[in-house]
Structure 1
Amino acid sequence: MIPMLQYKYATDSNPNYTTTGKSSLKFQLINQRADFSFALFSGGLSNPNLVAVSNSITFANPKAPVFPRLAQGKSWNEMTVTWTSGYDINEAVPFVEWGIEGQARMRSGAGTLTFDRSMMCGAPAKTVGWRDPGFIHTSFLKDLWPNIEQFYKLGHRLSNGTIIWSKKYKFRSSPYPGQDSLQRVIMFGDMGKGEHDGSNEYSNYQPGALKTTDQIISDLENIDIVFHIGDLTYANGYISQWDQFTAQVEPIASTVPYMVGRYKTDYGMFRFCIADTEHDWREGSEQYKFIENCLATVDRQKQPWLIFAAHRVLAYSSNYYYGQEGSFEEPMGRESLQKLWQKYKVDIAFYGHVHHYERSCPVYQSQCVTSEQSHYSGAVKGTIHVVVGGAGSHLSDFSQVQPNWSIFRDHDFGYVKMTAFNHTSLLFEYKKSNDGKVYDSFTISREYTDVLACVHDSCEATTAAS
């Protein structure tokens, strides 16, 4: 049984459909490696009865490579390219052709993976939600020159020598660590997906997803890298929604690195340390050691902007649920990690999971370390914690109590943009997805000597004897 992917009501375009029998509906189809048919049902969703089925609609090449997504590689001068096709490795050899415009092109081979129904945990992924995922290919473009525009195409070489090509894409390679250039970063979580044709789908509760996606696309020329910190598709066992999500973000992810997961990555003047909140982060754990190593090994003279991020809120949130618990955080979050943030002077920490926007003051041990709210300078006395999980999914309520460390809250869809102008100046902006306008902002001005300055619990204790 093939599941229904999208649906509309015949009364959407003609409220009198039940009496006239006439209606006109439009659907946007994406290549999912199989034919499509339209079906007419009576009885609604609760008691559907099949009335008629259309002829099949076939893509010119349903196996064609589609939906490329970029990510930073293990080193700053490496770009990972991942895409989807209908070609098994035994049928065609996957690769990426890439290079600088006007110069000789290079080809990098790709690995191929897939999965089958038996690998799924249970229903609906094993039953009505199952759909063949095709094949997922990944290639690594290495030894890139910094901050230069590169062009690329996805290719599959068939056994007869014919090459199936994707369209042409481009990206700008990453700046080298410490490079003094304009660097613009997008941060958000919990976006999900939607349909531009207005159709409905399973798990249709991400009303802001398209607004966020479209605002970022409209500003893409002014964006260098995107971080999506958890809860990507809300597929909930319906495999086709991964294709729908990758198609939705393709204009972004095919052009700039679209970062997900747990990792350490350098981007110019930034060091990003991203944690996995589904695994133990407490002191002594493998992940705690990973986090400390990431924070400790950055050269703040070259990379002054140190950013921590995780999906669940490990520090401060006045979300209704956390407020009811009385913790205002994920259990044992800041108790385990705040001494690391303080010791290594993390500038900003980002979280998703809670579906709204909230910004704290620079805070340590639940106390604001400054009364300033819009411009920060001098020594790093505490970390600014930001919940930015309002990118698309249904919004979360705030607690009725607003703690003293919570200085801006917004119950709406939005995302954050950070702009590093140089080694001493950073601009933070929170933008609403409805209009792309800035509703909260602050600046940081800081010299390297300010990062070196000792503040409470940030330097090793000393005595007269030492």
Structure 2
Amino acid sequence: MIHWNFLSSLVIFLSLTDGYLNLGDTEILNEVYYQPEQVHLSYGARPDQMVVTWVTMSPVPESVVEYGIDKIDSNVSGTSSIFVDGGFLRRNMTVHRVVLEKLIPGKSYKYHCGSPKYGWSDIFYFTAMPDGTKWSPRFAIFGDLGNENAQSLPRLQDETMLGFYDAILHVGDFAYDMATDNARVGDAFLNQIQPIAAYVPYMTCPGNHEWHYNFSNYVNKFSMPNGDGTKFGGDNNLFYSINIGPVHIISFSTELYYFINYGLKQIVNQYKWIEEDLRIANLPENRAMRPWIITMGHRPMYCTNADKDDCTKFDDRVRNGMPFVKTFGLEELFYKNGVDVELWAHEHSYERLWPIYNYQVLNGSYEKPYTNPKAPIHIVTGSAGCKEDHDGFGPQKDYCAFRANDYGYTRMQAFNNTHLYFEQVSDEKDGKVIDSFWIVKDNHTSYL
């Protein structure tokens, strides 16, 4: 006869572990594993920087990157920290960060990471950011990529190896979820993207699926830059900006507007930071060098999906601000500061909007809506593939220019100060480009 206390304990255990019972957990916790894994790159705050981040499952006291152009002949040491996941098992791992500096612009480097005593990763390579603003950066952009049903991942891996991209912009929602199964799903996901992220900078923003334990897996595993290139990771992962060629990218957290149980102060801090960042980006000398201002945040202001997400409602929090008080909304701030493009995800579909402000379409002209548009252009690209499949659409709206719920991702290239090109790739249609358009702007300034 099974004792009632045992059954009660088992029910509690299963509830705490999301119903996941692994009888091998004791052996896993005792396993010794020093090999570097989950290797990924990110740009630093300065063009001469590249940040290498990796994980070891057992504590390794050294964090070293050996690198070079023709041969591996230089080395730099960095820092490490113990990350303890908030799940039932309290799994811990060591996160390593090394900042490479004084890189030669546009040069390709070989590197590996690890420790001369405990072991090295495979050899990878990357290209340092080209100098100045007179080059044409190429991006892959997507959100909502999971460990399971990562439909677009093989094609993105292929294209990265073929040199399609200078950087990746992952617009929130990783792994589904990074914290699932005591963070093992997050570990598996970061190993899945290693064939991309170990070769080109993988720039991120948080989504709602990173919420567990106050976004701790996301905050600890990635290494986004602060303003002066002296600190990486931590709260910098929530909001930051970076200059890439003629583009100024602002990454921020829409989730601060929804997970207010973690505090309201961060909403205020982020809003003030964005306000100041936009002020500096719009100084005449800065806007002349980097005229394209592009934002990336997870939850859209607008969408036409057949669900009850905020972007289907007029009172969207990110757009209008917090309920009732209507403060810290971002649409007016972006409009006033002449943001050119707003990148979003969250909806498991692709949608391109006409230039829009406050639900009013403000095309450049009837014949050429994206030539000198009178408001920002919104792109929702959350269909990279995850276990939650597609999101369907509701009725067509007049502000929607094109939409599709094929699995896929977006490509963007800033050709120069006046021409920005986008195309949407359908993985379901074997890589076919199902949408493409140019944005042409003679002047980049406030829309007021």
Q: Sort the TM-score into its range (normalised by shorter chain).
A: 0.7 to 0.9
How far apart in 2 are the matches of 1:325 and 1:223? 30
Counterpart AA for 2:66: E
Query: Does structure 2 conserve the Cα–Cα contact (< 8 Å) formed by 1:376 and 1:445?
Result: no
Counterpart AA for 2:140: I
1:439 aligns with 2:434: yes
* Structure 1: gaps of 5 or more residues: 1-45, 195-206, 458-466
1:93 aligns with 2:62: yes
Deviations 1:435-459 (A, max 9, x none): 2221111112233xx224x64x2xx
CA RMSD of aligned residues (A): 3.2
* Structure 1 residue 424 displacement after superposition: 2.1
* Structure 1 residue 64 displacement after superposition: 1.6
Query: Does structure 2 conserve the Cα–Cα contact (< 8 Å) formed by 1:322 and 1:330?
Result: no
Q: 1:253 aligns with which of 192, 197, 206?
A: 197
How many residues are matched? 370
Query: Does structure 2 conserve the Cα–Cα contact (< 8 Å) formed by 1:188 and 1:228?
Result: yes
Bigger Cα Rg: 1
SS of the residue 1:181 aligns to: coil
Q: 2:280 aligns with which of 288, 291, 297?
A: 297
Counterpart AA for 1:289: K
SS of the residue 1:285 aligns to: helix
Deviations 1:227-259 (A, max 9, x none): 111111113531211221111101100000011
Match of 1:4 in 2: none
1:192 aligns with 2:146: yes
Match of 1:155 in 2: 114
Deviations 1:335-375 (A, max 9, x none): 62222222221111011111111111011221111276995
How far apart in 1 are the matches of 2:62 and 2:310? 55
| CA 283–371 in structure 1, closer or farther in 2 if over 3 Å, else same | farther
* Structure 1 residue 382 displacement after superposition: 0.6
Matches within 5 A, 1:281-430: 285-298=268-281, 299-313=286-300, 315-322=301-308, 327=313, 330-331=316-317, 333-334=319-320, 336-370=329-363, 378-393=371-386, 394-430=388-424
* Structure 1 residue 284 displacement after superposition: 8.5
Matches within 5 A, 1:255-270: 255-261=199-205, 262-270=239-247
Deviations 1:186-237 (A, max 9, x none): 111111113xxxxxxxxxxxx3x1x211111121111110011111111353
Matches within 5 A, 1:11-26: none
* Structure 1 residue 142 displacement after superposition: 1.3
Query: Does structure 1 conserve the Cα–Cα contact (< 8 Å) formed by 2:40 and 2:53?
Result: yes
Query: Does structure 2 conserve the Cα–Cα contact (< 8 Å) formed by 1:376 and 1:443?
Result: no
Counterpart AA for 2:81: L
Q: Spell out structure 1 runs of 4+ moving beyond 3 A.
A: 280-284, 322-326, 371-380, 395-399
| CA 171–234 in structure 1, closer or farther in 2 if over 3 Å, else same | same
How far apart in 1 are the matches of 2:309 and 2:147? 29
How far apart in 2 are the matches of 1:382 and 1:302? 21
Query: Does structure 2 conserve the Cα–Cα contact (< 8 Å) formed by 1:322 and 1:329?
Result: no
Match of 1:135 in 2: 94
Query: Does structure 2 conserve the Cα–Cα contact (< 8 Å) formed by 1:76 and 1:265?
Result: no
Match of 2:255 in 1: 278
* Structure 1 residue 310 displacement after superposition: 0.5
Counterpart AA for 1:347: D
How far apart in 1 are the matches of 2:180 and 2:370? 47
How far apart in 2 are the matches of 1:133 and 1:256? 27
Counterpart AA for 2:316: E
How far apart in 2 are the matches of 1:149 and 1:332? 40
SS of the residue 1:350 aligns to: strand
SS of the residue 2:62 aligns to: strand
By percentage of residues, which structure has more helix? 2
Matches within 5 A, 1:53-64: 62-64=33-35
SS of the residue 1:279 aligns to: helix
SS of the residue 1:355 aligns to: coil
1:172 aligns with 2:127: yes
1:146 aligns with 2:105: yes
Query: Does structure 2 conserve the Cα–Cα contact (< 8 Å) formed by 1:318 and 1:401?
Result: yes
How far apart in 2 are the matches of 1:269 and 1:278? 28
Query: Does structure 1 conserve the Cα–Cα contact (< 8 Å) formed by 2:34 and 2:59?
Result: no
Deviations 1:101-152 (A, max 9, x none): 25x7321112112234xx51xxxx205xx6x453221111112222211111
Q: 1:240 aligns with which of 168, 180, 184?
A: 184
Taking structure 2 as the reference length, what is the TM-score of the superposition?
Answer: 0.75
| CA 346–270 in structure 1, closer or farther in 2 if over 3 Å, else same | same
* Structure 1 residue 392 displacement after superposition: 1.0
Counterpart AA for 1:359: R
* Structure 1 residue 427 displacement after superposition: 0.9
Deviations 1:1-52 (A, max 9, x none): xxxxxxxxxxxxxxxxxxxxxxxxxxxxxxxxxxxxxxxxxxxxx9x9x9xx
Deviations 1:43-100 (A, max 9, x none): xxx9x9x9xx9xx99xxx94222231001123232111011224524xx422001222
* Structure 1 residue 296 displacement after superposition: 2.5
How far apart in 2 are the matches of 1:270 and 1:330? 27
* Structure 1 residue 412 displacement after superposition: 2.0
How far apart in 1 are the matches of 2:120 and 2:393? 53
